[in-house]
Amino acid sequence: MNKKLHIRKVERYTIWEATEPIEVDVEKLRKCDPPYEGNTEEELFEYLLENIWEDWDAEFTENKHNIEVYGEDALYDLMLEEGCYETSVYSDSREKGQESWFELGVPNDEYRKTGRFESRVNNMY
């Protein structure tokens, strides 16, 4: 047994947060290039995914025609760029209870995923 063992308490929780809802103007998207031609929520989501959220070269959002039709600020809003919009927490698992456990082990810089701690024994279920 290692002479210098350490104990610690670990807690795991989940926080859900979201931006304020942004309205999608489907009729304006039908006039953009490429035009939205779908009729279902799933088709609209796929269109947004392909043309806005995964448009890495910004071809859709920087297209002059699309800016004229949808509006530059409104197109930018649809992008939901990380760090550009405040989010609000709407659920926090810590408010419903605690998921925690104790660990016995040693500090170890190679264990980065566990907070640089090598757990040898724990009561995590």
| pTM as predicted | 0.73
Does residue 64 form part of some domain?
Answer: yes
Domain that holds residue 14: 6-122
Residue 1 lies in a domain: no
Give yes or no for residue 113 having a pLDDT over 80.
yes
Say what the pLDDT of residue 12 is: 95
Q: Are 8 and 117 in contact (CB under 8 A)?
A: yes
One-letter amino acid of 33: D
Task: Please name the residues in contact with 65: beta carbons below 8 A apart, sequence gap of 6 or more.
Answer: 32, 33
pLDDT over 70 (residue 39): yes
More confident residue, 82 or 115: 115
Residue 56 lies in a domain: yes
* 50-59: pLDDT as tens digits: 999 998 789 9
Instruction: Return the CA Rg of the chain.
Output: 24
In this structure, is residue 31 part of a structural domain? yes
How many independent structural domains does the chain possess?
A: 1
- The predicted pLDDT at position 69 comes to 98
